[in-house]
Amino acid sequence: MLSLRYPAGYPVDGFIFFKAMSQDGASQFQEVIRQELELSVKKELEKILTTASSHEFEHTKKDLDGFRKLFHRFLQEKGPSIQPYEKIKARGLPDNISSVLNKLVVVKLNGGLGTSMGCKGPKSLIGVRNENTFLDLTVQQIEHLNKTYNTDVPLVLMNSFNTDEDTKKILQKYNHCRVKIYTFNQSRYPRINKESLLPVAKDVSYSGENTEAWYPPGHGDIYASFYNSGLLDTFIGEDNLGATVDLYILNHLMNPPNGKRCEFVMEVTNKTRADVKGGTLTQYEGKLRLVEIAQVPKAHVDEFKSVSKFKIFNTNNLWISLGAVKRLQEQNAIDMEIIVNPKTLDGGLNVIQLETAVGAAIKSFENSLGINVPRSRFLPVKTTSDLLLVMSNLYSLNAGSLTMSEKREFPTVPLVKLGSSFTKVQDYLRRFESIPDMLELDHLTVSGDVTFGKNVSLKGTVIIIANHGDRIDIPPGAVLENKIVSGNLRILDH
């Protein structure tokens, strides 16, 4: 039995052959199938393009051309140097740090919706601290830099078609801030039917029934979209792309100790139990490569998750030379592994979307480097469990930056697991009268119908489980230290 396989061992349901063939015959047959499929996809995309209006035509054509290249690679594919942050920081900062900062452009990925946490609109507009959103904090950080060092570091947001409109409306509130803000849109690619491998979309619209037919193709699309937007050429003199600014890392890039500039730097940090799925760096053929869990065969997933074997993971804080991006983009030389992401649409149709990850391009750049940074440089918020951490007294807020509180005795972050009753931000906020004191917390698990009163303190390991039909109200002022709470506990008003 022979099956045609996609990258990462993804089987194609429609092509399973029960007749044995020679290796050459099989390869020729598979090549014919590939060519026919590419031709079919080309025809479908051309049909879609004919539905574009005159003002939509150019950018839609670029998007569909980009998708065709990605799809071609998808059919064709067959189956580190790490510096400690302390060493980079020990070099100190030069007197001309302002001129170094003026060679920086800060780019934030802003294409994601807050749907996984029950929110409508961009995830960056979710409130974090004192009614400040993630976007507010980002603007405050850069404004503080510009005021402190008398610089003009710009902020660039990569929106998606899902977030662009809402983001542009909210940007008006920053008109008087000392930060120039620019936006561009990442590409819009068509989802493909898992069975036929043809696009689901029939025209260019993304409203009504066609809403689910399109998707933003992952953050690896930043290179092509940034180039196509014209902003890359606008900022080429600035020299470096960065995420969350660190002056010591920036100085290391602009003034390398060995005189050899790094074109790509990835911030990594030590793995904890909460990060076992994070991508890691490996060295192969003299180049750094990013390995994501989606690329790992099932038999080796537990090995990949091992904290002892793979000690670091990618934080997705990246520093990239703009000149190098321009050179590689024009040479069509940015190579990123394809991530095949299966989805089921609301109507039950099984589709796949082809994505790439921004960090996977590391192998395409010269003299790439990983820097092992403190955990405090990495504050992901993908769930309400993460949100609880950043809203708590574990972190102090200063000029838009969240830093671990000096009152926390351990540098590690507690492991927090909130159950399904807390998934949506609205429900999560309703269940906390105030955010508990978590300075001495190691581990928190909450499951079921649980609420917290004001001024609750959590220490050590705390597990609270309300079984189906039960409810637990943690009373105001309660101190839970190394406790398991289960059953039914109601605090009634009288």
Best CA proximity match to 241, nearest among 106, 49, 119, 45? 106
239 is in an annotated binding site: yes
Tokens found for residue 170: 């909210």
Contacts of 230 (CB under 8 A, 6+ apart): none
Torsion of CA 366, 372, 375, 376, to 10 degrees: -60
Best CA proximity match to 274, nearest among 388, 359, 358? 388
Instruction: Determine contact, residues 258/367, Cβ cutoff 8 Å.
Output: no
Q: Where are the alpha helices (DSSP H) in 216-341?
A: 222-229, 231-235, 247-254, 301-305, 322-330
CA-based diameter of the chain, in Å?
A: 82
186 is in an annotated binding site: yes
Instruction: Determine contact, residues 436/452, Cβ cutoff 8 Å.
Output: yes
3-state DSSP assignment of residue 257: coil
Residue 147 falls in the annotated catalytic set: no
23 is in an annotated binding site: no
Contacts of 327 (CB under 8 A, 6+ apart): 333
Catalytic residue among 47, 382, 407, 454: 382
Helices 23-49 and 54-76: angle between axes, nearest 10 degrees = 170
Look up residue 300 and give its DSSP letter.
G
407 is in an annotated binding site: no
173 is in an annotated binding site: no
219 is in an annotated binding site: yes
Q: Which residues are annotated as a binding site?
A: 123, 186, 218-219, 239, 382
Q: Which residues are annotated as a binding site for substrate?
A: 219
Q: Which residues are annotated as a binding site for UTP?
A: 123, 186, 218, 239, 382
Known catalytic residues are 382
